[in-house]
Amino acid sequence: MVNVFNTFKAKNMDQHWCWNSYLNFRALKQANDIREQLIRILANNRCNLESNPTSHPDYYTNIKKAVLSGYFMQTALL
C-alpha cells in the first residue's frame, strides 16, 4: 500500500491513473490530506520530520513499528 501511495504521489495525484489502475482516487487523496495535516502538526510543534528513502533497509521496518505501536491493543486481541 505504501508503494501504491508513493506511485500516486509520483503521478501527481492523477485521477485517470487511479481509474486505469483500479484504485480509489478519493481514498488516496484523503490519505494524502491526512499526511499533509500530520506534517503541519509536526511543523507547528517544531518537531523534526525524518524520512528514509524507500531504498533504506529500515524503511519498511519503521512502517511496521509505527503501525504496531498505534494498534498494539488490537493486535493483542487478535
Give the domain ranges of the chain: 2-77
Q: Which pLDDT tens digit goes with each residue over 22-34?
A: 999 999 999 999 9
Cα 63 to Cα 60: distance, rounded to the nearest angstrom: 5
Cα 13 to Cα 50: distance, rounded to the nearest angstrom: 23
For 14, phi then psi, to 5°, come to -80, 120
Q: Which one, of 17, 43, 16, lies nearest residue 7 by Cα?
A: 17
Higher pLDDT, 1 or 76: 1
Task: Check pLDDT > 80 for residue 67.
Answer: yes
Would you say how long the chain is, in residues?
78
* Lookup result for grid cell 486481541: 77
Q: pLDDT value at position 68?
A: 85
